């Protein structure tokens, strides 16, 4: 057999194998479980959102970012479109290529890069779980050219095919999980749609550090030692690539360090010094680990774990959102559009957690109850108060004008409501509203309280408000 025929047969064989893999990928027979594939959902949502909307604040990072910042809430705080593109376990090289693809779809006023991914890592030598997470991040991206160009920088040659093909990566599920194969063939293996706007948030932790866990910090000491932190040349170079990319496009760049619990880390100054040197002069860096806000970043803000990688809770993300918003506007001087003037924009976020903390009820809304509006309680100027019902729990919000005399409500206020239930019966309900120092809208003061134990609400009427100073309690 001539060498030419041998080459042709080899080429034909490769084409057959390649075609088979392509068909398997298209059919999705070997897709992994999609129920928690939030990386793909995030990119799908980003491409869908940017069909008709621009992104004003683009946030890049890993799991510290998508658990530590709530982009829906941050959008409401700023009155601008904020979106998170992040994937778990990824480092700064992945962030760079994520940013490059993100900028093909939007023209943000500012890019925010979370710094936890700036560390010593050789991304092309990843193995095990780290490589799997990098595969997931890469596979979720959608721009074919961007993915082709980034492949040799993210993976070693022996991993190229696995990076591109779910069938090659996941063919073993045929033996390990045949039920999943059947689910793929039926088309039922899809990721669940998120309620409301999906701007990249992935909430995992709702409960903070317990008293017992706090005592363990006192007994066993911190988990993370900043003196052991290192950054290699690869991470340094990719930080510089991010800076150069933003400079070239005229986009402001802000680096963000989200905190871990102050007892979780020791010798943080060493860590901070290294990251600051890598970032260099000329770029803003908001470091929420140091100086650490002891008043606002309480135990409730952090995941209850002694693992090295500690994330923030939903409440912690709200606190961080306000700090980031203030930094972007006051320190970085980012010129953001005020999209909140548009009713269409407000309706995109309407009813989401974080909306009524900043905006009032829209006319015709029957899903919430206006308790009062434009009332002066002897120097306490109420802009509005809204009752947000749920199935058996919800929230009550009250927005106050910044000219209000807060000394009159230093102890909060008691509110008495008459609640009419769906069966026609009525119940008198007393609740207490107070200010959370971590929840700090820029244009007004906010009092709030959750409620529970009431279901089947037909209407709510305000009866009485009692203002409380500390001396009254």
The full DSSP string for 54-109 is --SEEEEESHHHHHH--HHHHHHHHTS-EEEEE-TT--HHHHHHHHHHHTTT---S
The structure tokens 């998120």 sit at: 194
Top pLDDT among 24 and 309 is at: 309
| pLDDT for the residue numbered 421 | 87
Please state, in angstroms and rounded to a whole number, the distance separating the CA atoms of residues 95 and 165. Answer: 21
Residues 342-371 pLDDT 10s:
999 999 999 888 899 999 999 999 889 999
Does residue 48 register a pLDDT over 90? yes
Please state, in angstroms and rounded to a whole number, the distance separating the CA atoms of residues 152 and 146. Answer: 11
The structure tokens 């925010």 sit at: 112
What sections of 329-472 are H helices per DSSP? Answer: 343-349
Three-state secondary structure string covering 307-364: CCCCCECHHHHHHHHHHHHHHHHHHCCCCCCCHHHCHHHHHHHCCCCCCCCCCCCCCC
The average pLDDT across 256-276 equals: 96
| pLDDT for the residue numbered 313 | 96
Residue 284 phi/psi, 5° resolution?
Answer: -75, 140
Please state, in angstroms and rounded to a whole number, the distance separating the CA atoms of residues 285 and 281. Answer: 10
Q: How many residues does the chain have?
A: 473
> Do the beta carbons of residue 61 and residue 96 sit within 8 Å?
no
**Per-residue b/e over 362-385, b at no fewer than 16 CB within 10 Å?**
eeeeeebbebbeeeebeebbbbbb
The average pLDDT across 415-438 equals: 91
Q: How confident is the model at residue 121 (pLDDT cuts 50, 70, 90)?
A: confident
> What average pLDDT does the chain have?
88
Please state, in angstroms and rounded to a whole number, the distance separating the CA atoms of residues 84 and 198. Answer: 10
Bridge-partner residues for 446, per DSSP?
399
Please state, in angstroms and rounded to a whole number, the distance separating the CA atoms of residues 114 and 63. Answer: 10
Q: Name the nearest CA neighbour of 85 among 116, 107, 114, 52.
A: 114
Q: How confident is the model at residue 160 (pLDDT cuts 50, 70, 90)?
A: confident
> Do the beta carbons of residue 440 and residue 320 sit within 8 Å?
no
Sign of CA dihedral 191, 193, 197, 202: negative
| pLDDT for the residue numbered 34 | 59
Which residues, including other chains, have CB under 8 Å from residue 271's CB and lie 6 or more apart?
226, 229, 265, 289
Does residue 7 register a pLDDT over 70? no
Does residue 105 register a pLDDT over 70? yes
Furthest C-alpha separation in the chain = 101
The structure tokens 């027979």 sit at: 29
| pLDDT for the residue numbered 172 | 59
Q: How confident is the model at residue 319 (pLDDT cuts 50, 70, 90)?
A: very high
| pLDDT for the residue numbered 258 | 97
Does residue 260 register a pLDDT over 70? yes
| pLDDT for the residue numbered 288 | 98
Residue 395, Ramachandran bin (φ over 0: left; ψ between -120 and 50: alpha; else beta): beta
Q: How confident is the model at residue 11 (pLDDT cuts 50, 70, 90)?
A: low
For the entire predicted model, the pTM comes to 0.91
Percentage of the chain with pLDDT > 70? 85
> Do the beta carbons of residue 433 and residue 465 sit within 8 Å?
no
Please state, in angstroms and rounded to a whole number, the distance separating the CA atoms of residues 70 and 320. Answer: 9
Residue 110 phi/psi, 5° resolution?
Answer: -150, 145
């Amino acid at each position: 057999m001539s060498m030419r025929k041998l080459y042709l047969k080899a080429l034909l064989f490769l084409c057959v194998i390649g075609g088979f893999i392509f068909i398997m990928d298209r059919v999705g027979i070997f897709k992994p479980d999609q129920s928690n594939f939030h990386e793909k959902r995030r990119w799908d949502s980003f491409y869908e959102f940017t069909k008709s909307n621009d992104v004003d604040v683009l946030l890049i990072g890993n799991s510290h970012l998508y658990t530590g910042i709530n982009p829906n809430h941050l959008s409401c705080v700023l009155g601008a479109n904020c979106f998170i593109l992040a994937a778990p376990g990824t480092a700064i090289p992945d962030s760079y290529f994520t940013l490059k693809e993100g900028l093909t779809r939007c023209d943000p006023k500012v890019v925010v890069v979370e710094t936890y991914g700036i560390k010593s890592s050789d991304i092309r030598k990843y193995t095990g779980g780290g490589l799997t997470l990098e595969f997931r991040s890469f596979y979720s991206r959608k721009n074919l050219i961007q993915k082709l160009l980034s492949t040799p920088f993210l993976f070693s040659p022996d991993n190229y095919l696995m990076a591109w093909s779910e069938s090659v990566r996941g063919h073993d599920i045929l033996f390990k999980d045949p039920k999943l194969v059947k689910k793929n063939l039926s088309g039922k293996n899809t990721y669940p749609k998120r309620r409301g706007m999906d701007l990249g948030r992935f909430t995992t932790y709702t409960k903070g550090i317990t008293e017992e866990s706090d005592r363990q910090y006192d007994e066993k000491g911190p988990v993370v030692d900043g003196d052991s932190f290192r950054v290699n040349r690869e991470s340094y170079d990719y930080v510089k690539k991010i800076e150069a990319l933003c400079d070239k496009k005229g986009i402001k760049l802000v680096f963000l360090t989200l905190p871990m619990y102050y007892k979780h880390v020791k010798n943080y100054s060493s860590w901070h010094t290294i990251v600051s040197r890598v970032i260099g002069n000329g770029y803003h860096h908001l470091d929420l680990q140091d100086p650490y806000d002891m008043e606002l970043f309480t135990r409730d803000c952090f995941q209850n774990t002694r693992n090295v990688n500690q994330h923030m809770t939903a409440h912690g993300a709200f606190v961080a959102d306000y700090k980031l918003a203030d930094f972007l506007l006051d320190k970085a001087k980012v010129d953001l559009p005020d999209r909140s003037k548009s009713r269409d924009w407000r309706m995109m976020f309407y009813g989401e957690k974080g909306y009524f903390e900043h905006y009032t009820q829209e006319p015709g809304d029957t899903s919430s109850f206006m308790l009062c509006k434009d009332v002066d309680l002897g120097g306490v100027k109420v802009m509005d108060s809204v009752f947000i019902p749920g199935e058996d729990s919800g929230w009550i919000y009250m927005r106050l004008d910044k000219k209000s005399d807060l000394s009159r409500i230093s102890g909060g206020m008691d509110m008495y409501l008459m609640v009419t239930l769906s069966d026609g019966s009525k119940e008198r309900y007393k609740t207490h509203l107070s200010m959370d120092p971590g929840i700090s809208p820029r244009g007004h003061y906010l009092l709030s309280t959750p409620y529970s134990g009431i279901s089947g609400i037909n209407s709510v009427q305000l009866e009485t408000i009692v203002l409380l100073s500390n001396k009254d309690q």
